[in-house]
Structure 1
Amino acid sequence: MDEPHVPLSGILQQRLDPLTGQSEWVVVASEEGTEDGGLGASGVYSEALTYTTYLDMLNDTARNRAYNLAIQKAVKGAHHVLDIGAGTGLLSMMAWRAICDHPKTMDAEGESSNPVQITCSNSSVGTIITACESYLPMVRLAHKLLQANKVGSGVRLIHKRSDEMEVGTDMPCRADLLISEILDSQLLGEGLIPTLRHAHEHLLTQDVRSVPAKATIYAQIVECNYLSRCYDSTGVEEQLADELSIRSYSLSHAAGSAHAMHVDPLTSQMELLSAPFKVFTFDFSKMPDEQGQSVHFIEIVQDGQAHGIVSWWVLQLDEEGSIFYSTAPTWIKTAQMSPRWCEHWRQFVFTLPGNGIQVSAGETVRVTSIHDAISVHYMVVGNAHIDEEAATSSMKSASSPPMYDRVGALGDQSWHSIIRAAVDKALLGRVAPLCLVLDDSLLMTMASASANSAAHVVAMTPGLSINCQSFEHGTKAKSGTIRVLKKKPALLVLKDLEGRKVDVLMAEPYYAACVGMLPWRLLRFWLRFWVSRYERTQLTPLLADNFTIIPFQGRLCGVAVFMPDLWHSRCCLGSVEGFDHSLVNRTLGACGLLPPSLEGPLLPYAVWQCGQYKELTDAFTLMTFSFLNPIEAVEGSTQAPVLRGGVCHGVVVWIDWVFDPLGDIVLSTRPAGANLPSYVKQGVKLLSYPVNVEAAPTQDKIEQKKDDMVATTRVPNCVEVSSSFDSATGEISVDTSFGFLES
């Protein structure tokens, strides 16, 4: 989407509407004169950049080093450098320094004292580095960093997309060196192909060189039941025992689905059915084809069920082929791999439709790969004589990929059982109850109608395109009535409910619009944010005297953790390849190595995807929210003895959703453990500095120390955590300290 023009007195920030699930633009005031020009000063704006992977990318030392080495080589003989997607301006600064060092000197202000003279558009001008960046917050950050690093006028930064730039207006001549980093985990998703096509046609010379020089996509056929369950609802539905159908919601895709994820945690659940093979190679110095197709005949190395393809890419950054960077999984042993876990680039998994295909060792399967301007799709067939046109047509018909965690949860028997048990208990003994279902809760809608044939169910699904007919095949033949109401819950009046008051108010809690958000925001009808209106509170006049609510309570729980990979990726930036980046730490939500006066944010992560992970304490409860009551402030604190000594990097928090008043039915969003997949995200509060902790003493050890008069060590053995919920903003804060348990 194009970024709208905005006045310099404010910033238009794209955000997700928590009610509708749709993107919207809001004006965020710019506070000129502050440390970061207002970036990060506002809660909405700060959060928008905090949740990005900019910080993680800048902490990727292998990436930064590879680019720096390649740029140092490439600038020799270059006249005009174009940096597309400049971000903080790091690559442009690398090019500027390399030009200044070869073979010129710099004056006291950091300006080149002997600029190279080149011929550009028949006129003699100084060395040119043009950088373009479309995202206004990053443009402002880059300007500050260019000034802080005394680059001066060495880099000309343009606030435009590259396809909006024109030679003669934005740049004096075509560039003969392209530097860029417009790559996502699939390689093409950030618009690499259309960007390169426009640049080669309008902005670059015919003999242009590029950093990176080339990129090659690799793939490997795998068996993995988890991937199949997460993408294909029809494949798991037959295994469910409650007769609630989810296949009518178009959450599974006949042509296959794709998702970026770290596959290393799935190694123990995955079988490699083929050797890796090359799929496509893109030469950045040439105009790429808008579409392409390749066919490979791949030998299967062991019997199995081919559920999907794991894909990754390798960058060749220099023309000679001596500098590489790879996003391959760890089972691919190469010297090109990053030595550290990183979040900004992951592998890409493409699941085959249905339950995949059965394959045998020694069999040759045909893999057809096709790319368009922004994506790659695969088809794997065991019969090599499949009709070419049919295969290509099927792949092109692939629709947008589903949310893998949502499909996985809908197809999970435990999730189904908990939802069904909660609804059955809430409706027990009620005659023709009116059930109001909020927050895109598909299972609760179907379970309510199925549990009570006299029930009147009103479903509100603001994040999904659902109508009454969508539920026809989702429940038993004898079920209550379902009515889908296209109205905001906060605007409901008694007339909308045909004059009846609500007997059961419920939400799952999980809705389509909040896939990437903190766990307590998954139940927006009580823990609503961004606006001061709370649906549960506003619905009070519409609730019957003896109404009940599902969930009944929410418990904020936590555990102290060892998470070195995530902590390092969220550390404050200092020098990045010799360039000071400390100005961006507050804006990008740095956590590690923060000054004592600052506090890092709570971040949403699926912790099983975050590298090394170990829990150091038992789970503890911090706060309890009573959804039966209108919104209210809540506080809580606890002391958690350390069970396993080690290094504590922070606290992981989640919500346990209590579905009934007695607390017998609970749906927990707790991490399943190291390398154990789950369908939900948790909140992570990282420490400014890791803390060494030791296991708290047992009573026997305490008595032994008393008898032996041995002085206790001063390594903390207790984690002290406090939290608070601000009912005015919907925000939760978590503070961590350390103490000692000696008796």
Structure 2
Amino acid sequence: MKTFCGRANPTTGALDWVEESEEYDYHQEIARSSYADMLHDKDRNEKYYLGIRAAVARVKSRGQQAVVLDIGTGTGLLSMMAVSAGADYCYAVEVFKPMAEAATRIVEKNGFSDRIKIINKHSTEVTVGPEGDMQTRANILVTELFDTELIGEGALPSYEHAHKHLVQEGCEAVPHRATVYAQLVESERLWSWARLLPLRVGGREILPPPEMGLCAGAPSVCDIQLSQVPPRQFTTLSPICTMFRVEFSQPVSSAPRQYTVPFPAVATGQAQVVLSWWDIDMDPEGTINCTMAPSWMHPDPDKYPWRDHWMQCVYFLPAEVPVTEGEAVSLTVSHDDYSLWYNLDKCSQQGGDSEHGVCRPMCTCQAHLVWTRPRFGELNDSRRTESYTQALRSLLNPDSVCLSVSDGSLLPIFAQLLGAKKVYSLESSGMFKQVIERVLQASALSGTVQVLESRPEQLAASWRAADKISLLMGEPYFSTSLLPWHSLYFWYCRTALAEQLCKDAIVMPHSATLCMVAVEFKDLWRIRAPCGSCEEFDVSAMDEMIQRSLDFRESREAEPHPLWEYPCRALSQPCKVMTFDFHQCVPEEPMKSQGSVALVRKGRCHGVALWMEYHLTDDITVSTGLAGPVSEKGNCEWSPHRKQGVYFLSSPWDSTGESQDTVLYTLTFHPHNGDITMEFTAAASD
């Protein structure tokens, strides 16, 4: 059965009606999921197996049958571990139907279908009894319900229900417990993700609205690969604090709670950020431990078990708090049934936990609802600001009539402060409009920039002919963009506004270039590596699902990834593969680019990284990808503000580095929908 879904096209801005089949969820939930990453997480899998084997042995030693309940079974891997470890029967619960179907095939392929029952329900809908889904309550509870924040996938309500209705009192649990840790730090880099900081342009200061400084910030967790934030980029202000534990073998409550840990500050500084992670003990004694601590906490960083399905958390305090070395302070973590948040108290020194006074913080200034954390970092980047102000200084004159087309951009404020005659800012939503107007008000610039909420084609129809635009500018940045080239929406806006531009109007940036480099990833390749077999179990049905979902699409696609979090080596020189001229309107015919890139370094080529470079003037270019030259060894430094595109080769290619291996590319830009279809193939040169 075919259905049609309306989607806003991030490049053209138009509403596209896309035909989808019943397999749409495969693409959304499977091909871009972390199942492959979990299956390749050897540390996780080994410790789960050791914990399950020990739990089965403890139950058997009491003369009982081992009946396992596996909630969120996914591929069925943990259930198969349980049966292999001697469990008599296993109930494997999986709510997502395509995943439950895959688990059924995997269990059958491995010969466990007589002792593993796949139940395609949410665990809270599972029934126990002669006519129920389970014949009896389980005495071993196995789960993998955790996310980077530990409880964000609803672990607490699921455990609470399971203890009440699905497992025996005093059951064994794998994992047995979880512990949440936190460390208070000062970090200029991390704090720049939390709020807009003051900046100077043209001798004037642009200030954040006062309400932004009082705002609790974005309610969602900031989950990152904290291993890529080296200790030199923050000052430690506290010891590593054990904030709270959850014992999974005992009844679990999903009620809101808070836990306070007092400590003396270990250094003087501005308390801004809390770094947090957790670990799980697979057994009651804590001898089988799986930790999410960043690599710089590991005794041997080279043996650090990388994973992307569980990372680390960064929490931002509601406001900076100055602390002095030796000063007594208290860190409080609060949680509801799905999320955590932190506060710092310089008065109370009483530790412990409480069920009172827990209220989840929410954004009240609107800025955190429209600007993402990387976007805050981008707006606060002084070097980037200098690039735009230098470009504007060279392009502006006292008669300039400027229109800025970007979401929530400060460019129109820059242009006004640098002497433009008139400045207009085109915003895509009323919320963006309000945030920019509040920044103008806080900076005593109200009325100097006219902020418009309109689509480009609507603005074109209502624009006054006497006010022709002499400078059309953009970063470009749009909140709907996922891949780097989605910001070509600026080009479509420029085309829609062609009649409103002066004959000799300046467009900034005047062009954009799509760039690429062939790369070897240290770890990111694991998320797309074939599953095949995991430990001694055949889970190739996962590969079938992923391939099926990818084949459903007309062509292979690039994926957005923040590459500053995922180290890689360049195996080729960076190269420009397609250029878009913003002096001209979007063409009617497709643009095509073909060529090859030599692999000049030895290594395993997993794919290519792609990004855009925007040419503000002939001399000033802003990159959304590489933030500097590639080192002699191929090490790359990536912009932390934007995601880059990653195209994984269907099979990795081992390069000799002797210029006899190449990556062939074919790119086609389709103006009617803004898509860039692409194909990359590694091959030996003739």
TM-score w.r.t. structure 2 length? 0.81
Take 1:622 and 1:84, find their aligned partners in 2: how far apart are those partners?
48
Q: What's the offset of the Cα at 1:25?
A: 12
CA distance in 2: counterparts of 1:547 and 1:246, whole angstroms: 31
Tell me if 1:280 matches 2:244.
Answer: yes
What are the equivalent positions in structure 2 for 1:651-666 lying under 5 Å apart? 651-660=608-617, 663-666=618-621
Match of 2:384 in 1: 415
Q: 2:21 aligns with which of 17, 20, 29?
A: 29
- SS of corresponding position for 1:231: coil
Structure 1 residue 247 displacement after superposition: 2.2
Structural mapping, 1:335-346, within 5 Å: 339-346=304-311
Determine if contact 1:92/1:131 at 8 Å carries over to the other structure. no
Q: Which residue of 2 aligns with 1:473?
A: 441
Does 1:685 find its partner at 2:647?
A: yes
1:563, distance to aligned residue in structure 2 (A): 1.7
Offset of residue 238 of structure 1: 4.7
The answer to whether residue 274 in structure 2 is matched with residue 309 in structure 1 is yes
- Letter of the structure 1 residue corresponding to residue 280 of structure 2: L
The alpha-carbon deviation at position 151 of structure 1 amounts to: 4.0
Choose from 196, 202, 208 the match for 1:247: 208
Q: Are 2:50 and 1:81 aligned?
A: no
Q: Secondary structure at the match of 1:409?
A: helix
Letter in 1 for 2:611: W
Q: Is the 8 A contact 2:34 2:527 kept in 1?
A: no
State the Cα distance separating 1:648 from its structure 2 match: 3.6
Output aligned runs, 1:9-28, within 5 Å.
9=1, 18=10, 28=20
Task: Tell me if structure 2 keeps the 8 A contact 1:453–1:479.
Answer: no
Q: In structure 1, the residue corresponding to 2:640 is in which secondary structure?
A: coil
Give the equivalent residue in structure 2 for 1:378.
342
Inter-CA distance 58–539: structure 2 relative to 1 (3 Å threshold): farther
Shift of 1:375: 2.0
CA change 1:26–1:633 in 2 (3 A) is closer
Against the structure 1 CA distance between its residues 512 and 252, is the aligned structure 2 distance closer, same or farther, given a 3 Å change threshold?
A: farther
- Percent identity, aligned pairs only, is 28
Q: Tell me whether 1:580 sits opposite 2:538 in the alignment.
A: yes
Question: How far apart, in 2, do the equivalents of 1:39 and 1:536 lie?
Answer: 34
- Structure-2 residue corresponding to 1:607: 563
Cα 1:560–1:473 shift into 2, 3 Å: same
Comparing 287-296 and 301-310, the one that deviates more = 301-310
What is the CA distance between 1:736 and its match in structure 2? 4.2
Residue in 1 aligned with 2:625?
670
Look up the match of 1:68.
49
The answer to whether residue 428 in structure 2 is matched with residue 428 in structure 1 is no
- Report the secondary structure of 1:685's partner residue: strand
1:261-300 matched pairs, under 5 angstroms: 261-267=224-230, 268-285=232-249, 286-300=251-265
SS at match of 1:345: coil
CA deviation after TM superposition for structure 1 residue 83, in Å: 2.5
Change (3 A) 1:677 1:327: farther
Question: CA offset at residue 221 of structure 1?
Answer: 2.5
The question of whether the paired residues in 2 share the 8 Å contact of 1:70 and 1:317 is answered with yes
Distance 1:48 1:156, change over 3 A: closer
Selected match of 2:99 from 121, 138, 163: 138
1:139 to 1:197, Cα distance in 2 relative to 1, 3 A: same
Unaligned runs of 5+ in 1: 1-8, 31-37, 103-115, 117-126, 527-533, 697-715
The Cα of 1:682 is off from its aligned counterpart by 1.2
Structure 2 counterpart of 1:484: 452
| Residues 65 and 536 (structure 1), Cα distance of their counterparts in 2 relative to 1, 3 Å cut | farther
Q: Is the aligned partner of 1:649 residue 2:606?
A: yes
Alpha-carbon distance in 1 for matches of 2:573, 2:213: 37
Q: Tell me if structure 2 keeps the 8 A contact 1:55–1:588.
A: no
- 1:339 Cα deviation from its structure 2 partner: 3.9
Q: Tell me the distance in 2 between the aligned counterparts of 1:69 and 1:536.
A: 60
Q: Distance in 1 between matches of 2:125 and 2:390?
A: 56
Q: Is the 8 A contact 2:437 2:451 kept in 1?
A: no
Deviation at 1:281, TM superposition (A): 0.3
Q: For the Cα contact (< 8 Å) 2:12–2:489, is it kept in 1?
A: no
Could you list the runs of 5+ residues in structure 2 that have no partner in the other structure?
A: 628-634
Query: How far apart are residue 439 of structure 1 and its match?
Result: 4.2
State the match for 2:631 in structure 1: none
Q: Are 1:212 and 2:175 counterparts?
A: yes
Provide the residue aligned with 1:34 in structure 2.
none
Aligned 8 A contact 1:622 1:722 in 2: no
Asked if the contact 2:661–2:682 (Cα under 8 Å) also holds between the matched residues in 1, the reply is no
SS at match of 1:310: strand
Name the amino acid aligned to 2:142.
I
Distance 2:284 2:604 in 1: 43
In structure 2, the CA distance between the partners of 1:647 and 1:304, relative to structure 1 (3 Å rule), is farther
Amino acid at match of 2:510: F
Instruction: Give the direction of change, closer, same or farther, for the CA distance of 1:260–1:731 in structure 2 (3 Å limit).
Output: same
Structure 2: distance between partners of 1:151 and 1:439? 56
| More strand as a share of residues | 2
Q: CA deviation at 1:188?
A: 1.6
Alpha carbons of structure 1 residues 51 and 488: separation in structure 2 relative to 1, 3 Å? farther
| Contact kept in structure 2, 1:307 and 1:351, CA below 8 Å | yes
1:735 aligns with one of 657, 680, 686 = 680
Q: How does 1:52-451 map to 2 (within 5 A)?
A: 52-75=33-56, 76=60, 77=64, 80-99=67-86, 127=89, 129-133=91-95, 135-152=96-113, 154-167=115-128, 170-233=133-196, 236-238=197-199, 243=204, 245=206, 247-248=208-209, 254-255=215-216, 258-267=221-230, 268-285=232-249, 286-333=251-298, 339-360=304-325, 362-384=326-348, 396-399=360-363, 403-423=372-392, 427-428=396-397, 430=399, 433=401, 435=403, 437-451=404-418
Structure 1 position 149, deviation (Å): 3.7
- Displacement of 1:187: 0.8
Please say if residues 571 and 590 of structure 1, whose CA atoms lie closer than 8 Å, have aligned partners that are also in contact.
Answer: no
Mapped partners of 2:211, 2:489: distance in 1: 24
- Does the Cα contact within 8 Å between 1:291 and 1:373 map onto a contact in 2? yes
Please state whether the residue corresponding to 1:331 is helix, strand or coil: helix
Distance in structure 2 (CA, Å) of the matches to 1:59 and 1:590: 20
Output the CA distance in 2 between the equivalents of 1:211 and 1:560.
42
The 2-side partners of 1:219 and 1:466 are apart by 37
Pair 1:623–1:337, CA change in 2 (3 A): closer
- Residue by residue, what CA displacement relative to the aligned partner does 1:112-153 show, whole Å, maximum 9, x if unpaired? xxxx6xxxxxxxxxx4514132x3443343344344444446
Letter matched to residue 138 of structure 1: M
Following superposition, the deviation at residue 625 of structure 1 comes to 1.4
The amino acid of 2:21's aligned partner reads A
Instruction: Give 1:471-550 correspondences, 5 Å limit.
Output: 471-473=439-441, 477=445, 480-485=448-453, 487-489=454-456, 494-495=461-462, 504-514=471-481, 517-526=482-491, 537=495, 540=498, 545-550=503-508
Structure 2 Cα separation of the partners of residues 185 and 388 of structure 1? 24
2:276 aligns to what SS in structure 1?
strand
Range that drifts further, 665-674 or 324-333? 665-674
**How many residues align structurally?**
652
Residues 335 and 281 (structure 1), Cα distance of their counterparts in 2 relative to 1, 3 Å cut: farther
Alignment of 1:688-703 (within 5 A): 688-694=651-657
Shift of 1:686: 3.2
1:585 is displaced (CA, Å) by 2.8
1:407 alignment partner AA: F
1:455 is matched with 422
Structure 1 residue 535: Cα displacement = 5.3
**Distance in 2 between residues matched to 1:374 and 1:466, nearest whole Å:** 32
CA contact (8 A) 2:259 2:334 kept: yes
Deviation of 1:738 (Å): 5.0
1-structure distance, mates of 2:287, 2:446: 68
